[in-house]
Chains A and B, each alone.
Chain A
Amino acid sequence: MTAAAGTKDEAEPIIRFRSVDKHFGPLHVLKGVDLDVRAGAVVVVCGPSGSGKSTLLRCINGLERAQSGTITVMGRTLDDRVLRSADFRAEIGLVFQRFSLYPHMTVLRNLTFAPRKVRGETRAQAEGRARELLERVGLADKIGAYPGELSGGQQQRAAIVRALLMNPRIMLFDEPTSALDPEMIREVLDVMRDLARSGMTMIVVTHEMGFAREVADLVVFMDQGEIVETAPAASFFSHPATERARKFLDKVLHH
């Protein structure tokens, strides 16, 4: 991973934004955003609420469509045709703050549903892989439970496993621990940390600065629809380049 960070111009980035603009009606939410993410990188996106972090993330897999600029993901420039492709979407995993799991399906069915429908896996195949991964995140005994019967932390871990079962090349996280009680945050971050070590490309919107410092290759700081600062995690935390980032860090680190 550190090797990859050194070989900057070796390969085309797996995610590339070029002057991307996004409006919601009169609201200008992304203002000429440029971004490059190499395969295998872990990028933490932070910034004040309403700064456009979620929108940025959702543009990557086409949940939001930009009005101008180009977004290239895994070598394909996003347009209607690309986004119609189930395989393209399935290669980008997504975990929300909450309501990720389907409440009317058991954990096992939540996990095997899309692999069977989209990838055409047999039931035995899908369930075998699901059991294996659930075991690894310590949820083997919850396999037949409904999401409503799990704690928030267990739900988020199951949601991560569900995304991983599609064999994604990119994982997106939108504040995956923000709705959790403090004691559950750690169990989710542990799973994410392991995932980062395995070399997965990850874009994580989070306020967990400890996680960012430890795991992130790159920190992207956003404010009012702009990427104000992009820096390696170490330098972002030790000496942020902009006044706005300094103020933000002040607030989240010593609230």
Chain B
Amino acid sequence: MENRLVVTASPHIVDNSSTRKLMGNVVLALLPCVIASALIFGARALLVIGVTTAACVGFEYLYTRLMKKPNPVGDLSAVITGIILALNLPVSIPLWIAIVGAFISIVIAKQLFGGIGFNFVNPALVGRIVLFTGFAPRMTTWTYPAKSQEVLTSIDAVASATPLQAVDANGTSLLSQYPLMDLFLGVHGGVLGETCALAILIGFVWLLVTRTISAAIPVTYLATVAVISALVGEPVLAQLLSGGLLFGAVFMATDYVTSPFTLKGKIVFGLGLGIITCGIRFWGNMAEGVSYAILFMNLLVPYINDLTRQKPLGAKKKGASKA
């Protein structure tokens, strides 16, 4: 018995989870949305998703190489940012704009803050908001599945629009008249990933069964929107199924880095998201409020974390201790 023993601190075993596996589960959860977007909007959807994702991974690799930081590409988080960003773009987006979005997401919103774990807002979300603000016309040049044109005509909508924006000649919202099944399957105008509720829900179930995320944020977020919609007399199901709400609730509001740690914190976060989203949808001058709601709540996460800390076993009172 020779004396070459390894001495390290306990614990001497760890579970088989890894960052890569968690992120891999998110990628898998996004696949139904990717497939749905190709079915609804055609093969160009795949081109947009492919280019955006490749650009995100490429920028991440180049930046870390340049800064001589360890190569993080294997953790797959840039892949997720790429897919989520792409799913937030319309199918007609010029590819160069998608690449600009990837740069903003990865280099500006993520790496300049120190990379994974240090960014305080969701990178893909920043990319989406900047593009929508900077390239408004191109970002809202919706392509409509043929089916949705018929629907819009049948409910007398004045102009081509997403269901949330559909109005009649007097400017009254026609959302309540939009066929729910079309909203559920996503055959209507919008960005690539947000239209098909079915695909998003499949992804959500996958994230839950693999315990990648907790249901707390999406559930409180959606429940809050449902309750407020009911209170103000909006069509509850149509509100839940339209716009970026479902996609945002499942994939963007649950990003680890930019959401609170504890169950209590997650509930507060979901409530806040619901209230802001409804505020913008019902009383703001924008049809859509999900991105801004998430962005705003992202900024509050450090405070939510401090205020919703768990009470340790035996602690005198929350947050207090004698030295």
Partners in one complex: no
**Interface positions of B (Cβ within 8 A of A):** none
